[in-house]
Amino acid sequence: MNTSELKKILERVRAGRVSPDEALRRLKTLPYEDLGFAKIDNHRQLRRGFPEVIFGEGKSVPQIVAIMGRVASKRQPVLVTRVTSEVFRKVKRRHGRARYHPQARAITLEAPGSPKGRAGVLVIAA
């Protein structure tokens, strides 16, 4: 969730288009969502200006798929690091829009409705 989405929820409550209970349901997973095998920081984009990054090494394909699904459901871009092309092929079956970047060993999935054009992400790793 980013600041504009949070503002929209609050404006909808004020206008009476969304009940306080519905807004609470939407905000309930803030700031963290515990999947049992991973804890997703849904507030990272609000605090830091960029969303959660998934460290893929050591995670199973079903775990990566589940985490990607939860992050994407919050309309945030997804970045998974330290994955092989074999893992990507399996992940792509569930997330068809995902892209693999072999030099970085990373998977990206654009947020729904993200602007098209030439944008970039700089990944620096030691």
**What is the dihedral sign for C-alpha 23, 35, 68, 81?**
positive
SS3 34: strand
What pTM, to 2 d.p., does this model score?
0.74
118 phi and psi angles, rounded to 5 deg: -95, 95
**What is the dihedral sign for C-alpha 49, 110, 99, 66?**
positive
CB-based contact 60:53 (threshold 8 Å): no
Q: What is the pLDDT of residues 92-110, one digit of tens each?
A: 999 999 999 999 999 999 9
The rounded Cα 73 to chain-centroid distance in angstroms is: 7
Task: Give the residue carrying structure tokens 């939860």.
Answer: 70
Q: What is the pLDDT of residues 15-55, one digit of tens each?
A: 999 999 999 888 876 788 889 999 999 888 888 888 889 99
Neighbours of 106 (CB within 10 A): 21
CB-based contact 106:80 (threshold 8 Å): yes
